[in-house]
Structure 1
Amino acid sequence: MIHPTTTTKDSGEAWDALEPYAQVIRSLMPRAAAVVVFDGDGQLRWSSETTTGPDLVGLIDETLFAARTDHASPGTLRLLAGDVPVYVFWIRSNAGQLIAIVGVVCRAVGSAEGEHRPFSFVHSLLRPALECLRRELIARAAIDDLSNTVTTLDRDLALLLAEFAGPRGGNGTDGADDLKAILQSATEHLGCPLAALIVPEKSIVQMRTHGENPPDRQLVARTHRQLLSMAQMRREPVIINQLQTGSAALQMPYRILSCPVRHASGRVMGVLAVFRNEAAPAFTERDARLGDVLARRAAAVIESSFDALSGLYTRPAFEQRARAVLAGADRNARWSALYIDSDQLHAINDNFGMHVGDSVIGQIGELIRRRLPPGAFASRISGDRFAILLPSAPEDAATFADSLREGVERLGAAQDNSRLHVSISIGVAPVEPGSVELTHSLAAAEMACKAAKDRGRNRVEVYQTADVSIVRRFTDINIATRLRAAIEEGRMRLYAQLILPLGTVGHDRPHYEILLRMVDEDGETFGPDRFLSAANRYQLMPTLDRWVIEQTIARLRPHRELLASAPAVFAINFSGQSLNNEEFADFLLEQIEGSGLPPELFCFELTENATIANLARAEVIMRRLRRIGCGIALDDFGTGLSSLSYLRQLPVTMLKIDGSFVRDILKDPRSESMVHAIAQLARAMSLATVAEYVETEELRSRVAALGVDYGQGFAIGRPLPFEEIMEELPVLAAASPVCCPVEEALPQLRTGSAY
C-alpha cells in the first residue's frame, strides 16, 4: 500500500489531463492500484492518488541513474515494502532524452496467485498506451515552449515599445528617472537580480536590484574596472556565463552580461551590466540584443540630458531636476544657487585656440563633478557658465564656492604653459523657502557673479538685496559707458587675422579680417565678447562700424602704391544695425571711392542672419558694392534658416562656413558632410569658401581635402595689431602669386578669435 505523506501532486500545463491514460492502464492491468508520473528530473508531476508516499518517491529516485545511463532499456520492475510491485517505465523524447517516468503500482500478489508478471510482459501490454502518452507529453511540451517563446517575444516587443515610444531626457525630465527606468527594465525583462549603469565621464553610477535576495552591491565595485575595460576593447555586448580566472579575489558565483554605452560618435563612454546567479539560466544572444537596446537607450538619455563637454546636466535637465527636488524638499530645508562664470576665457581662445578653451571648460566641469556634495547637482548652462544647486545655507555655499574657485585656479598652474591662467567668478544666492522654481534665485546668483567680475574677478560674492542696484548699473550701463569713453578717447584698436588660401587653384590672394579691440582705463585689452552685447543693446554698432571703416581706410591709404595691384584683401564686418541705417550705404561708398585705393582690396562681411533679416536693404548695398569691384562675404554661413533660398538672389562672392561645423568635422560625420556640401555648392556657384576656427593642422588638412578654399584660425594665424600687418605689405606686394608661401613668410602668425 502507499503510505500517506505530505507530498502532493504538482501539475503543470504539460502534465494536466493525464487521468484518461491512468484509466487505460487500469483497464489493461486490473491489479493497478495507482499511476504516478514524474518528470525527467524525478519531480512528481501527476498522481492518480491525492497523496504519494515517500517510499515510492525514493524508489523513483533510485531508478533515475539507470534511466539516464541505460538508454536501451524501457524501464524496470521494483518492489516496495510488503512485496508491492511497481512497474517503472522510462518515457524518452525522439532525441532519446528522458522526459518522464511512469510508475504503475500494483497490489501485492498472494501465494495462491503465483509470481509477479514479468516486466517485458507488462511493457508489451502497455506499450500502445505509453506511446500515446509519450506523444502527448512531447506535443504539450512543444506547445508550452511555443507559448513561452511567444510570451517572451511579446515581452521583448513591449520593452522595445516602452523604450522608444516617446522622447526621454530634456523633455520634461532630467534623465535620472529615465536611467532608473532603464535599469528596472533590465532587471525585469532579463530576469536579473542586479543591474548597474556606469558612465565615469558623466559621474553616473546607478544600480537596481530585483527580487527577495539580491546580490551585494559590492559586486559592482569589484568588477566595474574590468567591465569598463572590456567595453572599451570589445565595443559590443559580451556574455560571461562562467568566470574563467585563477584569482580567488575575482571568483564569484554570477553570470554577467556587459553592454557598452556608446556615444553618437561610436566612442564607448560607459557600460550597462546585469548579473545572474550561476544557478540561473545562462545568458543568450537574445539577452545580449535586449541589453544592447537598453544600453543604446541609456546613451540617448545621457546625450540629451548631459552636456558632452563638461559631463554636467544640460540646462533644461538641470531646471527640471531642480523643480523635482525643490518640490519634494522639506519646507524648512536651506538651499542655495551658485552661478559660475569663467574669467577671460576669450583670452585663452585668442592666445591658445578654441580647443584649449574647450579643454578648460571640460576640466572645470570635471572639478565641479568631483567636488559636489551629496544631494547637490550642477549644469553647464551656456558657453563657459555653470550653475549648481546646493542643499545648504548661503554661508556654507560660499565656503564651498571659494574652495571650488581655488581648485579652478590650480588648473592653470597644472598646465605646461605658464601663460595659461584659469579662474572663475562665482555668485551665491539663497533659494526662497518653499520655492519650486530656480529662476529668481539663479538670476540673483548671476547678478552676484557679475558683481564679482566687476570687483576684480576670481572671487565669490553672495547676493545681497542692497547690492541689486549696483549690480544692475554695472551690467546694463557700465560697459556701454566705458565703450563710449574708449571711442572718444581713442582707446579702440584695430587688429587683423590672416585668412590663408588652402592651395585651391584660382584663390591665391591672402585675406585679412579686420577685428576690433577695446583698451580699458587700466590699459587692459578686451575682445569683442566683452562689449559687443552692450553695443548691440545700446545701438552703438553703427558708431563702431563707421569707426572701423574710417580707420582701416586711413591706415591703408599711405600704402596705396603698394596696394595698387591688390595683393591682399581686407575683410570688414558691418552690423545689421548699420544695414538698417539709410545713410550708411552712401557713407560706405563715399569712403571707398574717395580713398584712392582699388575697390578690389575690400571684402565686406555680413552675417547670414542679419542679411536674411534685412534682405531688401542687404541686396541693394551688396549690388552697389559689387558694381565698384568690392567683394561680399556671407559670414556664419550655415546657421540661418533660409539661406539657400536667397543665395542665388544675393551677389555674394564668398561664404564663410560657421566655425561650429568646422570644429567638429573630425568627430562628427554630419558636420563633415555639411562642410563638404557647402564647399561643393559654393564651387558650383563660383563662390569662394572660408572655414572659420581652423584650430589645428589636422583640421586644416581636412577642410582643404573637403574642397574649402581658405582657412582662418589657430592653424593659420592669430590676430595681430594692424600696424604689424602693414609692416608685411612689401612682402605681400612682391610675392607673385601669393599662396601657401605667405604663411612661410609670416611665421610669427598664430591664432585668435573672430570680431
Structure 2
Amino acid sequence: MSVTSDTGLGPQESWFQALADTTSTAILAVRRKFLYANPAAERLFGYTAEELRELDVLDLLHPDFRAQVAERVERRLQGEGDPAHHVIKVLNRDGSQHWVDYTASNFHLGGQRAVLVTAHDITARRQAEEALSREKDRAQVTLSSIGDGVIRTDAEGHVDFLNPAAEALTGWTAEEAHGRLVADVYRVVSEVSGEVLPDVVLSCLAGETVQDLPDRRLLVRRGDGRELAVRDTVAPIRAADGELAGAVLVFKDLTQLRDLEREMLHLATHDRLTGLYNRSELERRLTVALEEVRVTGISHVLCHLDLDGFRMVNDLCGHDAGDRLLQELARVLEAKLRPQDTLARLGGDEFGLLLQGGDPRQVRNLAQVLRQSVAEHRSICGEQTVETTASMGLVPITASFGSVADLLGAASGACQLAKERGRNQSHEYRLGDAALAQRHSEMVWVQRLHRALDDGRLVLYCQPIEPLEPGGERLAEIFVRMVGEDGEIIPPACFIEAAERYRIVSTVDRWVVRTALETLGGALRSRAAGELASRTFTINLSGQSLGEETFLEDVVSQIRASGVPPHRICFEITETSAIANLGHAMLFFSVLKDLGCRFILDDFGSGLSSFSYLKNLPVDFLKIDGEFVLGLSREPMHRALVESIQHVANVLELKTIGECVETQSHLDDLAAIGVHYAQGYYLGRPEPLVLGPERSLGEAS
C-alpha cells in the first residue's frame, strides 16, 4: 500500500513512505477499518495491506479488548482525546496472540478524521515479565509455607522481608520489622553464658562471605521473652553486576529437638517413674567411688534397700497405688540425703544408695534414719492407709572389692539376709560372712543364668516315664539345662534355687514353655517327631511363675500357637510350691484344665498335709517323692506311705508315678504296690530334646 497513491499525500512527502517501509514499528491509519498498514503491521497481523483494508479493526483484537478500543476509536473520530499510550492483545492470522504497546493520535486523511496508530510487539517482554511474576509468586508461596524462618536485609543490614515462620519465631511482624536493623529483630544469646552474640548478618555483609553456624546452639529471644534453640545460616545477596545487595538469614527452630535430646539424656541416667537415678548411673558413680577408695582410702558405704511386702500393696490397691507409693518414698528418702549422696532406683521396689565420705558411724546412722523414714511414711489408698517397711543391706566400700558387680552382689545379699531375719532390719556386710558368701554364690549363679539367657545357652533335655501296665500311656518329662561358658552341661539344681530366691525363675519358665512347645509343634507338623510323637510331655514349672502377671495368658497363647494338642501337654509342679501358692495354682490349674491340659503334683508325700490339699487341686498324676521309692525295700514306713498314696490315688481316680527308679528291685516294688508309672535312670537317663524320625528315649540306657 503506497502512502502517496492511496492516501492522497503529495510527492513531497515520499520520504514518509521510505520511513514506514523500513521501520520495525507497526504504523496504521484506521477509522473503523484499516486505511493504511506498513510492512511491520503486515507482519504483526499476518495479512497483506490489501487484505487488511477489507477487515474490521475490532476483528483482529482479542475479545477482552474490543469494547474499550471501539470506544476509544469512536471518541477520536469525534475529534476528542490527546495522544495516548495503551497495551492490548491482538490476533495474528495463524491464530497466535501478541501483546502490543501502542500510541494513538488524531489526524486527517483525505480531508476526513482518522486515527494514526504506532505499535510495538512486546509479547516476548510480556512473557518474560509474567514468567518472572510467576517465579516471584512461587518463591513467595515457598517462603510463606516453609517451617524455617527467613529474613532478608539490604546492604546496610536493614530488614526488608520476613516470612511467616520468621514472624512467628521472632515475635515481629513483617511491617514492624521493615527498615529495622536485623539485630533488633533477630537477637541471639549464648545458651551457656546468656550473653548476646555478635550480629552474624553484619559480619556477613562486612566480610562478604557465607556464615554457616550449624554447631552454635543459639537461642532466639522473642518479644514475649521466650527463648528458642535455633541453628542459622546467613549468605550475601549479589546484584547482577556482582555488587553486594544485602543478605539472607535462614534459621531453624530446634527447641523440640533440643528438649528431646535433653529428655533422652535424662532418661539414660534416670528412672522414668520416680525421677531418681537409674541402675546404670549408680554403677557409673560406684565405679568412681571404688577408684577413690583405692587411691585415697576415703570411706564410702553402699546400701541396698528393698521394700517389705510391696507386692501386697499392688495386690490390694492396684499398680497405680504401688507406683504412687514408690514416688512418695523416693521424695521421702531424697529429703534425708546429703548433697554428696546418690539415690537410685534399681528396679521394682529396690533402691540403691551411695553414701559418700564422712564419719563411718554417722553414715551408718544416716542409713538407719532412711530405713526409719520409710517405716514412718503413710500413703493413702482409697479409704485405707498403706504402711510399709524396708530391709537394708550395708556394704562398706573397700579396695578388696574387685568390681562394681561384686559390690552390688554383696549389698543385695546383705539385704536378703536382713529380709529373712524378720524384715525392717539391716545387715552389714563383713568379710568372711558365711551367710553372705552363700548369697554371693547365688548371685553368681543368677548372673550366669542371665548371661546364659542372653547368649542362648539354655537347652532342653527329656527323660522317659514308662507305664507299668501293658498298653499304658507313655510320657516324657522335659528338663532345662544350662550350657556353661566352657561347654559343660549344668543341671538345674545348681541354679534354680538362686533363680527362685532372686525372683527370675519365671523368666526361665517362660523360655522353657515357649521353646518346648515350639520344638514339639514344629516336629509334629513336619512328622519328624519319631517315637516321641506318641508320648505326652510334662513341663516343670516353679510355683513363683503361677503368680506372675501375664504368665498364664502367655502359656495359653503359646499352646494355641504351637499346634500341640493340649491333652498331650502336662504341667508339673511340686507339692510344696502348689500349696505355698495355692490361690494362683488353683486358677492356673482350672484355666488350663478347661483347655485340655493335665497336671502332675511332684514330690507328693513330702509335705505334712499332702492329702488335705488334693481336693483343692485338680491334678491328674501324683509323682511320689523319690526318697520313698529308694527306701521301699528297707524302710517299712516308706512302703506304708507309698501304699497309702496309691490307695488315695485309686479312690480319687488319679495316676501315680514313682521316680528315682534305679534298679529292677525298685521297679518290682512299685509294680507290686500298684503304682501306674515309673521314672528313673534304670528306664532311661535325661537326653537332649532332639526330635527326629529315628529318635527314641532310653535307647542309650
Q: TM-score range by the shorter chain?
A: 0.3 to 0.5
Specify which structure has the higher proportion of strand: 2
TM-score, length basis structure 1: 0.34
Q: Which has the higher contact order (CA 8 A, sep 6+)?
A: 1
